[in-house]
């Protein structure tokens, strides 16, 4: 039996597209080539120094636009000075003073109130300050950034694995139902009523009323939320574990882009849902420091992600976008 191959007749549209591409590609090619060369060209100076030039600036921008409220006036002044005064950003004493002021500012007390990204920010400033005093300071900071991110994610994964309500989706069930940050997202895409998170959080808040004997609060998790939460939990653990492994494993140079890739996947998967933007910006800054990508690729990637995260802090805008995307996807 002979099996013939039937090829569809090439349509006029395809022929026209092909001829247009042939006509226009020589005109665009030089621009593409120039753009590609700009991206992949390795400027003078070693990797670590280029990475530090980017990461230290992002650190100061983070300090300028996302400083905790109690850090006093020194924070924006120090950040602006570091960005504006030539040579200050490479000055070891400048970083020692900034780190010292930051560590001993009122914001670090009470320490049991600090969020995890506040701790990570303290470690990051300490790492910058300490590494400024060794000869190959940027190489040392590159290692410190990689280890800090890796260990932070490792412990985040450990917690998610040992908490019995996480992997089965219970944590996300409650969080969608009682935390406005996620509850609003669920409401925006039609998974639950708009006031669910607010009313549940308010009921939990009633436990604080003086003289109250806290009573159980009836809660109804919508079918849509209950369906998605176990998958969300597993996806979170897998992504965070991937970041931890990529950052802690001593990868060969050709595999190190996995660190950048895993971090970008984490940011894209996490922050539209849980907009703890300050944490995201800090992680992106540290990931930029350890990155072994070509300098311009690194700058383009991390500045883009950093800027996108900053836009996400405009919560209502982000929710409108999410709603629009969901509608488009469904339709």
Partner 1 sequence: MLDRRERFAAWVAPLVLVALAVTQLSFAATRDLTPWKGGGFGMFASVDRLNYRAMQVTIITDDGTYPVDIHAFAPQSRGTQTAFVNARALFDQRRVQHLIDQMWRAEWVIDRDVATFESWRDDDGGVGTPLPLRHRGHDDIVDVRHVDWRLYAVAYNRGWDEIRPRIVGQMMVDGGGRNLTVVDDELSWWSGS
Our CB check for partner 1 shows the closer of 115 and 320 to be 115
Which residue from 66, 169, 183, 280 is in contact with partner 1, where contact means CB under 8 A? Answer: 169
Nearest-approach distance from CB 3 to partner 1, in angstroms? 54
Which residue from 25, 168, 202, 304 is in contact with partner 1, where contact means CB under 8 A? Answer: 168
Which residue from 39, 64, 101, 219 is in contact with partner 1, where contact means CB under 8 A? Answer: 219
Counting residues that bind partner 1 (by CB under 8 A) gives: 68
- Is residue 137 within 8 A of residue 46, CB to CB? The reply is no
Q: Does 34 bind partner 1 (CB under 8 A)?
A: no
Number of Cβ atoms within 10 Å of the Cβ of 59 = 26
Our CB check for partner 1 shows the closer of 101 and 147 to be 147
Which residue from 151, 234, 257, 326 is in contact with partner 1, where contact means CB under 8 A? Answer: 151
- Of the CA atoms within 13 Å of residue 88, those in its CB half-sphere come to 15
Q: Does 269 bind partner 1 (CB under 8 A)?
A: no
- Is residue 49 within 8 A of residue 135, CB to CB? The reply is no
* Residue-by-residue DSSP string for 3-59: PPPP-PPPPHHHHHHHHHHHHHHHHHHHHHHHHHHHHH---SS-HHHHHHHHHHHHH
Number of Cβ atoms within 10 Å of the Cβ of 130 = 17
Stretch that binds partner 1, among 50-58, 88-96, 160-168, 252-260 (CB under 8 A): 160-168
Binding residues for partner 1 restricted to 106-145, rule: CB under 8 A: 106, 109-110, 112-116, 119-120, 123-124, 126-127, 130-131, 133-137, 139-141, 143-144
Our CB check for partner 1 shows the closer of 108 and 297 to be 108
Nearest-approach distance from CB 197 to partner 1, in angstroms? 13
Closest CA to 266 of 293, 294, 247, 292: 247
Please report, in angstroms and rounded to a whole number, the separation of the first and last CA atoms in the chain. 45
Q: Does 147 bind partner 1 (CB under 8 A)?
A: yes
Per-residue tokens: 225: 């939320």
Rounded to 5 degrees, what angle do the CA atoms 82, 45, 55 make? 35
Nearest-approach distance from CB 271 to partner 1, in angstroms? 12
Our CB check for partner 1 shows the closer of 30 and 164 to be 164
Our CB check for partner 1 shows the closer of 57 and 160 to be 160
Q: Does 193 bind partner 1 (CB under 8 A)?
A: no
Residues 6+ apart with CB under 8 A from 84: none
Q: How far is CA 287 from CA 37, 92, 145, 260, 304, in A?
A: 24, 21, 7, 7, 13
Our CB check for partner 1 shows the closer of 32 and 204 to be 204
Q: Does 196 bind partner 1 (CB under 8 A)?
A: no
- Is residue 190 within 8 A of residue 324, CB to CB? The reply is no
Residues near partner 1, by CB under 8 A: 106, 109-110, 112-116, 119-120, 123-124, 126-127, 130-131, 133-137, 139-141, 143-144, 147-148, 151-153, 155-156, 158-160, 163-166, 168-171, 173-175, 178, 200, 203-204, 207-208, 210-220, 229-230, 236, 274
């Amino acid at each position: 039996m002979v099996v013939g191959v039937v090829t569809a007749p090439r349509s006029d549209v395809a022929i026209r597209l092909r001829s247009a591409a042939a006509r226009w590609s020589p005109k665009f090619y030089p621009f593409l080539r120039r753009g590609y060369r700009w991206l992949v060209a390795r400027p003078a100076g070693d990797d670590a120094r280029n990475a530090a030039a980017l990461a230290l600036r992002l650190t100061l921008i983070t300090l300028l636009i996302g400083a905790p409220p109690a850090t006093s006036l020194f924070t924006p002044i120090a950040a602006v000075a570091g960005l504006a005064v030539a040579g200050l950003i490479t000055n070891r004493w400048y970083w020692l003073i900034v780190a010292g002021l930051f560590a001993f500012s009122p914001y670090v007390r009470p320490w049991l109130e600090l969020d995890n990204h506040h701790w990570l920010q303290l470690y990051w400033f300490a790492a910058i300050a300490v590494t400024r005093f060794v000869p190959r300071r940027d190489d040392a900071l590159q290692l410190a950034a990689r280890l800090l991110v890796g260990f932070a994610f490792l412990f985040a994964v450990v917690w998610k694995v040992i908490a019995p309500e996480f992997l089965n989706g219970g944590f996300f069930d409650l969080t969608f139902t009682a935390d406005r940050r996620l509850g609003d997202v669920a409401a925006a895409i039609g998974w639950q009523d708009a006031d669910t998170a607010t009313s549940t959080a308010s009921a939990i808040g009633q436990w604080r009323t003086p003289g109250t004997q806290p009573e159980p609060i009836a809660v109804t998790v919508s079918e849509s939320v209950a369906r998605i939460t176990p998958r969300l939990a597993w996806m979170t653990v897998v992504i965070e574990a991937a970041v931890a492994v990529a950052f802690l494993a001593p990868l060969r140079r050709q595999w190190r882009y996995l660190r950048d890739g895993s971090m970008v996947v984490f940011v894209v998967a996490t922050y539209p849902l849980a907009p703890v933007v300050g944490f995201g910006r800090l992680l992106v800054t540290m990931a930029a420091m350890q990155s072994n990508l070509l300098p311009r690729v690194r700058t383009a990637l991390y500045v883009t992600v950093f800027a996108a995260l900053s836009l996400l802090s405009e919560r209502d805008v982000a929710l409108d976008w999410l709603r629009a995307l969901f509608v488009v996807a469904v339709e």
